Amino acid sequence: MSDLAERIAIITGSGQGIGRAIALELARRGARIVTNDVTGCCADDTLALVRELGSDGLAVTADVSDSAQVESLVKTVIDTFGQVDILVNNAGTTRDNLIMRMPEEEWDLIQRVNLKSAWLCSKAVIRPMMRRKYGRIINISSASGLMGQAGQTNYSASKAGMIGLTKALAREVASRGITVNAVAPGFIKTALTDKMPQDILDQLLPLIPAGRIGTVEDVAHAVVFLAGERASYITGQVLSVDGGLVMS
């Protein structure tokens, strides 16, 4: 299926994990893909996989929490392709700690990498999207932002902040053909969750009605739906992909 042919998609933090799966799923639908990482380890590898699927794109190493690097990234995309249609704000990380042990730097880092990055990237693509009267912005939030998670005051706050950003921006740009939605994954098997202690995972599994940890493809399928033509009347929403962990 190539319903996203001619679309240009930027997926931040797509060197591995959920971001890579989103990049590959969008490529399968025909979109050209801008991959991104911060260390330079893996964005090229994701682009190579995109090419194996018959699509193409660019790999850009950039820290998306830095405004100059974000502007440069988006300029490169516009100079190369002339447009940007889909932005997936996926880059993120964790620094878990109980609040009494959490240094201020761990609070600041998480707000910058998880939340400010999404604001910066959205701001950088919004003019080109408005000019074309078309855009899809998808923010990768988290169940932790919806329900709160002990040991994650910084992370839960950043992910709840992404939901506020999603709703406010959705209202600003809805009349210009741009939708802004969030996806809130639960526990998904990636390098990020591989860092979690086994006893915490053992406590969490019984709380998931589906009875399993999610896969990166579970999240990618939801993102591809929101990025597609058929989701044009859906905006300002949060789609949980968590096996029923959070039900509102």
Interaction between residue 142 and ligand NAP (CB under 6 A): yes
Q: Is residue 36 a contact point for ligand NAP (CB under 6 A)?
A: yes
From the list 8, 31, 92, 169, which residue makes contact with ligand NAP (rule: CB under 6 A)?
92
Rounded to a whole number of angstroms, the minimum distance from the CB of residue 158 to ligand NAP is 8
| Residue 2 neighbours by CB distance under 10 Å | 12
Question: Which residues pair with residue 178 across a beta bridge?
Answer: 135
Which amino acid is located at 50 in the chain? Answer: V
Extract the tokens encoding 173: 């740009």
The nearer residue to ligand NAP, 19 or 135, going by C-beta atoms, is 19
**Residue from 107, 134, 155, 187 carrying the catalytic annotation:** 155
Segment lying near ligand NAP (by CB under 6 A), choices 12-20, 72-80, 146-154, 204-212:
12-20
CA distances from 132 to 12, 129, 181 (A): 22, 5, 19
Single out the segment in contact with ligand NAP by CB under 6 A; choices: 37-45, 71-79, 96-104, 170-178.
Answer: 37-45
Q: Is residue 155 annotated as part of the catalytic site, yes or no?
A: yes
Tell me the DSSP string of 192-226. HHHTS-HHHHHHHGGG-TT-S-B-HHHHHHHHHHH
Binding to ligand NAP by residue 161, rule CB under 6 A? no
178's CB contacts (< 8 A; 6+ apart) are: 126, 129, 130, 133, 134, 135, 136, 137
Q: According to CB under 6 A, which one of 4, 8, 11, 18 is a site residue for ligand NAP? A: 18
Q: Please tell me whether residue 9 adopts helix, strand or coil conformation.
A: strand
Residues that bind ligand NAP (CB under 6 A): 12-13, 15-19, 36-39, 41-42, 63-65, 90-93, 113, 140, 142, 185, 187-188, 190-193
Active site residues: 155
